[in-house]
Structure 1
Amino acid sequence: MRQLRHRRLTAVVALATLLVTAAPPTAASAGAGAKPERAGFHRVGYFTQWGIYGRAFPVKKLDTSGAASRLTHVNYAFGNVSEDGRCYVDGGPGEGDAWADYQRPVPAEESVDGVADAPGQALNGNFGQLAKLKAKHPELKVLISLGGWSWSTYFSNAARTDASRKAFVASCIDIYLKGNLPGSPGAAAGVFDGVDLDWEWPNWEGEPGNVIRPEDRENFTKLLAEFRRQLDGYGRTTRKHHPLTAFLPANPATMDAGYEGRKIFKYLDFATVQGYDFHGGWDAVTNQQSALRVPRGAPDNPDFSSEVAIDGWIARGAPRNKLVLGIPYYGRGWTGVSGGGNGLFQPATGPAPATFEAGYEDYKQLKTLAGKGYTVHRDLRSGHAWLFDGTTFWTYDDPAVVLQKTLYIRQAGLAGAMMWSLDGDDDNATLTKTIGLGLTTW
């Protein structure tokens, strides 16, 4: 039995390798003319507001790379929450980026339809490009993701009372779904189809300075109920269903502290589950950051894994068909690794140098390291891979690991896959196409 399992997993690696080495698509086949692969599983990709800068990842790349035709949802990261509990889009440096969101005139070479934005037109920036993307891919849903690690500071204030919840939800629908941007009423109407709540975390420590209250646990459920009520009310005017989703943690302790298990799924279309950041440069030894299962010999007991996270939610009453597994398009790294061997579970001096943040590197950069002093190592049983050159160690998901995770999603009866974040993929959307391959309904 063990030998058969190994053969199956080896076949997964071989299939994914074929995908990686296949010739890149032509511009015509990658864009609007590509056959949609939308039936069945959810395929949810986060598009980051800031990706247009250093990562040079405009909305257009979702179309030209072929990613858009493999996705069912794009979550726009992020929308902010004010101290008085409102959605807002223009809070100044550090609190918002209205220029990227809807003010920046996008040049023709970065535009989805090849037409440059006119300065001062009603809708520019990422929001305008998302509208153009939806015109080319009409089945694609775009959600505004509220919060994230940095902007969850005041979620507790917004969720605290019945009145605050009503006001908060109304403000979010007004800005994002009705499209009432500052100075441009209705300009962004139709860009966003629904809302994704990325509160990190109710009644649990997230970024230092976050407001946390014990009643967050119950108030999160009440906030979902209010979103569902107002979204359904708005949907009666648009004659559409407006999705409501949430990003949920991998840590079982956080699950218990912040969420009412089964209750929250009454209001959610589905939830995406954190499948990454299990370990990183903050640890003193190298480890996996996104393994499918806890590896043998792991130094921590208990430890985190994708399977641990999914099983944790199922044990707390979550329906399998509403759980979407998160997959990282980046790796976590350490340097100053000693102890020899393949580098796994060895002491390190700190996070590895990287392009934007020490210890964090996009897949498109990590894929270039293989064969350049780095060796790719795999644990097929646990579903993770890493790169090691004798000193520096990177744990990451390559196409073989990603394809293995899609098979797990199928076997476990889950709802699909989520990717953080789309700008970490290469120009051929290799990881997104791998997910499309693995989750195609045959």
Structure 2
Amino acid sequence: MKRRSIGLLVAGAAVLVAGTTAVPAEAHGSSQRVVGYYTQWSGYDRNFLVNDLVKNGSAARLTHINYAFGFVDEQGNCYSSDPWADYQRGFTAEQSVNGTADAPDQALKGNLNQLKQLKAKYPKLRISISLGGWTGSKYFSNAALPAARAAHVKSCTDLWIKGNIPGLPAGAAKGIFDGIDLDWEWPSSEGNPGNVIRPEDKVNFTGLVHEYRKQLDKASWPFKGRYNLTAFLPADPAQVDRGFEVKKIFKDLTFGTLQGYDYHGSWDPQTNQQSSIDGPKGDPTAAEFSSQVTVDAYLARHAPRGKLVLGVPFYARGWTGVTNANNGLFQNATGPAPATYEAGYEDYRILKTKLSSFTVHRDNLAGFAWLFDGTTFWTWDDPTEMKRKAQYISNRNLGGAMIWSLDGDTANGELISALHRNLR
């Protein structure tokens, strides 16, 4: 499975030093986490800014935001993959979270300053920098080598946790990030073509996670656990076994987010579901991909149930040239469906505006929905399916839901609203 676009419970607060307070890593009152990815590129073609998280109600419903992505270079050092978006772009008063325009000579601007304002508005919100992603995982294998990992972690904590941004005053971005999210796609498995892969990635990932936990705890001494450490983890049990020592890494992770989407997509010759809860009847593929399979795989490998956060998609996967049979499901297709930003991938908010051209179909047993117009097929999640997923997460006593990505929702936040109110 491919993601194409492509966290410690602490009780109470404690005094760090005079005048400052340690914020618990998971201070939100909800028993289940609502984690959302906000991407650097959301502010480009989509024009979805950090302040839109306030406008559509997402910020009030989120417990955690993962800001995606920071990259790792060949030597294992962390760097900003888009300095302009991260800390150089100036925002007008209308665009900003707090209603104040960035000054031309202001040291820290961009998304980082907007996230800083968001934290001031929502003090319980925890924000992590997500490292890697589909296009940013090329050199993770180098960074995880025993001889390199301590320097790698220091590089990343210096940049993102201590906030030492090149060209800005020391500590200019300090206090924005409450943790680090490791999004290595994937240890010992092919991800984006050209990624460095080694057989020893599996054991090295365990070592890397432990090194992050050690250095993050040192950075927050004497209040162990102040900083979150999370990881994005694959859905495919075969990839899990190739790349992850599950029981060991969860000893150091605050929680892990599970890939709950991209089970199928336009890289497959036939239409299928991308995020069903269970395997649908009649699925012609050899191996079942479903949330049930994924969750059960991690539980069987001794992951703590309360640390499993299931991913949900705010986008759809689509095919065109689809054979007009079985309402388009499990049918041959000629290629990816035309879409706004990427063929075969459409934001929910955009696809919703085209509903009049499609018929909505649901498999209530397997738990998924799709759209079909006789030639184009989209597997999608609407509020009905978000409710279903939230109930599944709650009924299985999992640790919460993760959203990829926040810019796919509507202006009134109908997906996150349905998700949030059905979690317990």
TM-score normalised by structure 2 residue count: 0.92
Q: Is the 8 A contact 2:324 2:375 kept in 1?
A: no
In 2: Cα distance, 1:37 partner to 1:253 partner: 34
Match of 1:356 among 341, 344, 349: 341
SS at match of 1:181: coil
Structure-2 separation of matches of 1:395 and 1:38: 33
Choose which of 178, 182, 196 in structure 1 pairs with 2:181.
196
Partner Cα distance (1:157, 1:296) in 2: 43
How many Å separate the matches in 1 of 2:231 and 2:282?
33
Matched, 1:169 2:160: no
CA distance in 2, matches of 1:325, 1:287: 20
- CA deviation string 1:349-399 (max 9, x = no partner): 1100000110000000111222x2200000011110001101100001111
The match for 2:42 among 23, 42, 51 is 51
How far does residue 88 in structure 1 lie from its aligned partner after superposition?
Answer: 1.0
Runs (4 or more) in structure 1 with deviation over 2 Å come to 237-240
| Aligned equivalent of 1:294 | 279
Q: Is the counterpart of residue 392 in structure 1 residue 376 in structure 2?
A: yes
Please report how far the alpha carbon of residue 239 of structure 1 lies from its aligned counterpart in structure 2 after TM superposition.
7.7
C-alpha contact (below 8 Å) 1:37/1:436 kept by paired residues? no
Question: Partners in 2 of 1:129 and 1:237 — Cα distance?
Answer: 29
Identical-pair percentage: 58
The CA distance in 2 between the partners of 1:373 and 1:233, in whole Å, is 56
SS in 2 for 1:361: strand
Residue by residue, what CA displacement relative to the aligned partner does 1:35-86 show, whole Å, maximum 9, x if unpaired? x974210100000000101011000001111100100000000000010001
CA contact 1:37–1:70 (8 Å) conserved in 2? no
Aligned amino acid, residue 40 of structure 1? S
Residue identity opposite 1:106 in structure 2: F
More helix by share: 1
Match of 1:81 in 2: 72
- Structure 1 length as normaliser, TM-score? 0.88
- Tell me the C-alpha RMSD between the 2 structures: 1.3
Report the CA distance shift for 1:224/1:284 in structure 2 as closer, same or farther (over 3 A). Answer: same
Letter in 1 for 2:200: E
CA distance in 2, matches of 1:121, 1:303: 52
Contact 1:38 1:70 (C-alpha < 8 Å) held by counterparts: no
Question: Letter of the aligned partner of 2:331 in structure 1?
Answer: Q
Equivalent position to 2:198, from 202, 209, 213: 213
Superposition deviation, residue 120 in structure 1: 3.0
Q: Is the 8 A contact 1:378 1:384 kept in 2?
A: yes
Match of 1:63 among 51, 54, 72: 54
Q: How far is 1:108 from its partner?
A: 1.1
Distance in 1, matches of 2:163 and 2:295, equals 35
Contact 1:339/1:347 (CA < 8 Å) preserved in 2? no
Which of the numbers 14, 31, 49 marks the counterpart of 1:40? 31
Q: Who is 1:181 aligned against?
A: 165
Q: How many equivalent residue pairs? A: 397
Confirm or deny: 8 A CA contact 2:312 2:402 kept in the other structure. yes
Amino acid at match of 2:363: D
Does structure 1 conserve the Cα–Cα contact (< 8 Å) formed by 2:324 and 2:374? no
In structure 2, distance between residues paired with 1:58 and 1:386: 29
Alignment of 1:28-177 (within 5 A): 38-89=29-80, 96-161=81-146, 163-177=147-161
Q: Give the Cα–Cα distance (whole angstroms) in 2 for the partners of residues 135 and 314 of structure 1.
A: 37
Question: 1:67-114 deviations in whole A, cap 9, x for unaligned?
Answer: 00100000000000010001112xxxxxx2100000111111110011
User: How far apart are the structure 2 equivalents of 1:284 and 1:388?
Assistant: 16
- Secondary structure at the residue paired with 1:310? helix
Give CA deviations for 1:399-425 in whole Å, capped at 9, x if unaligned: 111111111111111000000000011
Partner of 1:433: 417
Shift of residue 240 of structure 1? 6.6
Q: Unaligned stretches of 5+ in structure 1?
A: 1-35, 90-95
